[in-house]
A and B are shown apart, each in its own frame.
Chain A
């Protein structure tokens, strides 16, 4: 699901930039042609309204999976201020531990929850500017058409920023990449699945 999302996000972002360029929100900001899908406006639109299906269906499956299996509850909470301060201290000393890939640290938890929420707002603001009349109730949550466009743009900016940090950090700790492809550390079968905190042996 992560990699499907990565592909969908890539399609949405480079086609979204093409659509943005046709009527810019900020006069100083045009995306260079080398970074956008084209050649003409209709092609950006075609890709955007194709990518939306992959993004939405995959996102819906992911969020359902996260709630139903309890993965979100297990991986993303609790968030404690004490842990956060400890994480920040470790990070500044470049001592943040990455030995246990099955557990997210508090900074990761906050960022992953944040980007999930931003993802949801992106989809909602996108629906509002796609159907400002049919979904006029949704549009009014974003005030009006142009403010909904601005929200959609700012969400994109936040996601791009997240991706930049996320990819950089993953590259700095390369064994995370192996785990992302293989599915993570080996987990012993004989472990009882009932307890949430059963102890396991890691890879040698």
Chain B
């Protein structure tokens, strides 16, 4: 019988295949039968169940996957558009109260005393004088009605207000050419932003939610809110800000989550 034209694949060998291989192995080829293949596939199917085994946290594999995650950090920094604004929403769409998230349950939240609370500054900042809640409240306020997206896949629209982070960093004389802005929190949480994201117009140090002081479970008296990062990057109950060129792993990145976590 005849068949149609060959595929002009560049990978197809120019020389004819040596047919003697087929003759020599005829016995072997004849043993490839349908039942054997099906049986073999069942074993293959069983093998795929190994996917459920926890091989991912082996050191060598973790080193490799975290290397890929580091590469993805760089790709995300490249994709970041410093002046591209995230979509904003109307006040009617705001969810009240916001959805709680932390590395522990809401019942374990330890409220911060706003009266004695102070914001410490360190690193590449010229005026390191600590700030009180009252002093921060006197700064110009910016409101953001933006979508909060969690790495888990849920989201909600929230209404946050507070001082623009870029404005605050300029005010305290921070080195805006430094690489990172790092946050320490009252619950020992740590987080950091690349400078480009920290300077994005929709990144604020929030003190209010839906025009009221932020409630304890959501970061009173001060938390970060940025429109360009996943939820966990938005540090709550902030006690210290450091501007630095040294990268330090953060609470979740230590556990294997992607550090840049941009959206």
Contacts and interface: CB of A to CB of B under 8 A. Distances in A.
Interface string B166-205: 0000000000000000000000000000000000000000
A29 to B, nearest CB: 13
A102 B7 contact: yes
A131 B79 contact: yes
Interface in B64-87: 65-66, 68-69, 72, 76, 79-81, 84, 86-87
B105 interface: no
B87 A136 contact: yes
Given A38-B52, A200-B3, A45 B16 contact: no
B4 A103 contact: yes
B189 to A, nearest CB: 16
Contacts of A177: 37
B262 interface: yes
Given A35-B49, A102-B7, A200-B6, A149 B1 contact: no
B220 to A, nearest CB: 26
B14 A45 contact: no
Interface stretch (A17-25, A84-92, A105-113, A114-122): A17-25
Among A46, A102, A188, max chain B CB count under 10 A is at: A46
A41 B10 CA distance: 42
A99 B256 CA distance: 51
Contacts of A136: 84, 86-87
Size range of the chain A interface in the assembly: 35 or more
Contacts of B4: 100, 102-103, 197-200
B56 A39 contact: yes
Contact of B57 (A10, A43, A149): A43
Interface in B213-240: 227-228
Size range of the chain B interface in the assembly: 35 or more
A23 B154 contact: yes
Contacts of A145: 147, 149, 155
Nearest to A167: B41
Contact of A46 (B9, B76, B80, B256): B256
Interface in A155-204: 167, 171-172, 174, 177-178, 183-189, 191, 193, 195-202
Nearest to A33: B52
A23 B57 CA distance: 22
Contacts of B9: 69, 71, 183
Contacts of A45: 151, 257-258
A174 B34 contact: yes
Interface in B29-66: 32-34, 37-38, 41, 48-49, 51-52, 54, 56-57, 65-66
Nearest to B36: A174
A74 interface: yes
Contacts of A43: 56-57, 65, 256
B263 interface: yes
A185 B57 CA distance: 44
Contacts of B72: 49
A197 B34 contact: no
B153 A183 contact: no
Interface of A: 10, 14, 19-20, 22-23, 32-43, 45-47, 49-50, 53, 69-71, 74, 99-100, 102-103, 130-134, 136, 145-146, 149, 167, 171-172, 174, 177-178, 183-189, 191, 193, 195-202
- 5 pairs of A and B residues whose beta carbons are closest in the complex: A187-B6, A23-B153, A42-B256, A34-B52, A43-B56
22 contacts: A33-B52, A39-B57, A46-B69, A49-B258, A69-B7, A69-B9, A74-B5, A100-B1, A100-B3, A133-B84, A134-B84, A134-B263, A149-B153, A171-B38, A172-B34, A177-B37, A186-B17, A187-B12, A188-B6, A189-B14, A189-B15, A200-B4
